[in-house]
Amino acid sequence: MNKSILTLLAVLLIVSCNSEEQKNNKNLESQEVKTEPWKLENYIDSVQILLTNEYKLDNSFGYGASSFLIKSDVDTYLCTAKHLLGEAMGISPEIKTSRFNSSLEYWNAYPRNGKIANDTISVSKLITEKQNDIDIILLECQLEKDNEIIALTPRFSKPKKEEKFEIIGCEYSDAECHQRRYFATMDSYEDGKILLKSEVKFTPSGFSGAPVIDSKGLVIGLLSGGGEFEGELYLYIEPISKVEIYLI
């Protein structure tokens, strides 16, 4: 077999492989992600997602902010913001993730009121001990057999420009709130965080650790911070993709 035929076969093989790869990619893109079964128009008043926290680490007490349950391939974890371990919650010095488990006295999470559910989630240990550089912690927890709190399915893909999202949370001043949703639009990425522009103004105090979901009900991240700029409310979201290794 001469060199020109070998070259032709090699080219054909490459084209064939590339074509097959392109075909597979198109098939994957065409597979529609199913909407989570709980994601109905009135889900805010029919299923409980948002939780609040009460905990003691060493001699420091923390109360409030937000958390939620998230699914992994093998378990369900409590997810919240790492900055709850520091001065934002009056804990000084900040508890490093590497010494969280030795500092843990207790950590409970539950709905802000009993409008939909009265479950209490008890934390046993921190899973993300080695992750002290991102604003997400995953906590191993114990669920009751008849637990009614919805556990969210993670989404690891990047959001698209102008994609719509929903933030589930409660303002501290809203005493009657069990959970509300606030709509926001993907603006950009900044320092590894997703920047969303809120459609309405609200006071995000107490939203630390609140889940951010897409139109299908998949959680893309948690609220890490925010503030107003030129009269608009912008919110920083820590992507769930940063803890993907713990969820697959």
pLDDT of 179-208, one tens digit each? 999 999 999 999 999 999 999 999 998 999
Query: Is pLDDT at 214 greater than 90 in this prediction?
Result: yes
Res 111: pLDDT = 96
> What is the reported pLDDT for 26?
42
User: CA end-to-end span of the chain, whole Å?
Assistant: 48
Same fold, 43-151 and 154-241: yes
For range 204-214, the mean pLDDT? 95
In this predicted model, what pLDDT tens digit does every residue of 128-154 receive, in sequence order? Answer: 999 889 999 999 998 988 899 999 999
Q: What sign does the dihedral 119-123-126-132 (CA atoms) show?
A: positive
- pLDDT tier, 32 (very low <50, low <70, confident <90, very high otherwise): confident
How many Cβ atoms are within 10 Å of 51's Cβ, its own excluded?
27
Assess whether pLDDT exceeds 70 at residue 12.
no
Domain assignments of the chain as residue spans, ordered by start: 43-151, 154-241
- What pLDDT, on the 0 to 100 scale, is given for residue 131? 85
Using the predicted structure, report yes or no on whether residue 31 has a pLDDT greater than 70: no
- Could you tell me how far CA 237 lies from the centroid of its own chain? 8
Confidence of residue 98 (pLDDT cuts 50, 70, 90): very high
Mean pLDDT rounded to a whole number for the chain: 88
In this predicted model, which residue has the larger pLDDT, 241 or 2? 241
Say which CATH class 43-151 falls into.
Answer: mainly beta
Average pLDDT over residues 27-43: 79
Number of H helices, E strands in the chain: 2, 13
Q: Flag whether pLDDT at 109 surpasses 90.
A: yes
pLDDT greater than 80 at residue 105? yes
Q: How far apart are CA 199 and CA 201, in angstroms?
A: 7
Tell me yes or no: is domain 154-241 CATH 3.30.70.3400: no
Torsion from C-alpha of 145, 65, 235, 141, nearest 10 degrees: -30
* Average pLDDT of the segment spanning 76-94: 94
What pLDDT, on the 0 to 100 scale, is given for residue 175?
87
Residue 241, CA distances (Å) to 70, 107, 163, 207 in order:
13, 24, 17, 20
